[in-house]
Amino acid sequence: MTTQEVLSGSRFVTVIKNLVKNQGITLEVGSDFNALREALKAQPERQCLAPRFDPEVSAINESTGFWVLGRSRTGEVVHTQAMRTVDLGGRTLSGYLDEYFRDFTPAGYAIDFPRSRYRGAPGSRMIAGKVCYHGELWLKGGPGGFRGAGLTAVLARLALVKALLKWAPDYVFGFMFPLAACKGLAAREGYMHTEPGSLYWSVSGQQRPLETWTVWMSREDIRHILQIPPIDLFDELEADQRRREAAKAA
């Protein structure tokens, strides 16, 4: 990365941290995933980590991962997300997941692995090189929560830009449920590419499999979002949400 890109990225992250703090959330960034796991024990909605970010299951340290934790003014955990490197071993993402998709089990589900499957899509078959996995993205909703279009957008972008500054990956990928993706969550988070029908998890006791889509960004995509002021994006999305809420109430 150039010096100018590093400076732009650092300013981008600082602006988002200050913006989020003005909304009542203080952010912490760390790489001790044992500390993250301990912090989540007090949050009934988010008490466990997915295997890829659980230090008891997967080797992860300062050089291979980081997390972002948000606390309300009362100290309650109201936001999480995490990023880690993935060594594809010279394969494409599709080739890697053909063998290792079980490592990306979503947290909180009893998965029947023999009946679960991965299906690679065109983008995943070209993703290669230095790759990061983005997961654990959660923002408390409901009464006293913070879930909204603006915060969702800037928080996800914070992790994407921090990954760019830390590792300059060729690609970043994650997984998303279809309904969330179709409602625009992928776009709000900044992801420019979605691939339907990637992972089908068979959940014990459920007839229908749990489907997830792959979302991904290239390094150039992340550089592009650096050109979009996060405050402007936040204000625009929040204003649109207020208009929608007013229309429903009318």
Question: Which of the 8 DSSP states describes residue 162?
Answer: H
What average pLDDT does range 211-225 have in this prediction?
Answer: 95
Q: What is the pTM of this model?
A: 0.94
Helix (H), strand (E) at residue 212: strand 210-218
pLDDT tens, 48-88?
Answer: 899 999 999 999 999 999 999 999 999 999 999 999 999 99
Strands (DSSP E) found in 72-191: 77-86, 117-118, 131-139, 171-176
**Amino acid at position 109, single letter:** Y
Residue 147: pLDDT above 80? no
Task: For residues 157 and 26, give the distance between their C-alpha atoms in angstroms, rounded to a whole number.
Answer: 16
pLDDT of residue 130: 98
pLDDT of residue 138: 94
Give me the sheet containing 77-86, strands edge to edge. 26-30, 65-71, 77-86, 131-139, 171-176, 210-218, 193-201, 117-118
Instruction: Please report which confidence band the pLDDT of residue 115 belongs to, taking 50, 70 and 90 as the band edges.
Output: very high
Q: What is the dihedral sign for C-alpha 173, 141, 11, 136? A: negative
Residue 1: pLDDT above 80? no
CA nearest 94: which of 164, 163, 173? 173
Instruction: Please report which confidence band the pLDDT of residue 205 belongs to, taking 50, 70 and 90 as the band edges.
Output: confident
In degrees and rounded to multiples of 5, residue 223 shows phi and psi of -60, -35
pLDDT of residue 44: 86
- The number of residues making up the chain comes to 250
pLDDT tens, 88-107?
Answer: 999 999 999 999 999 999 88
**Average pLDDT value over all residues in the chain:** 92
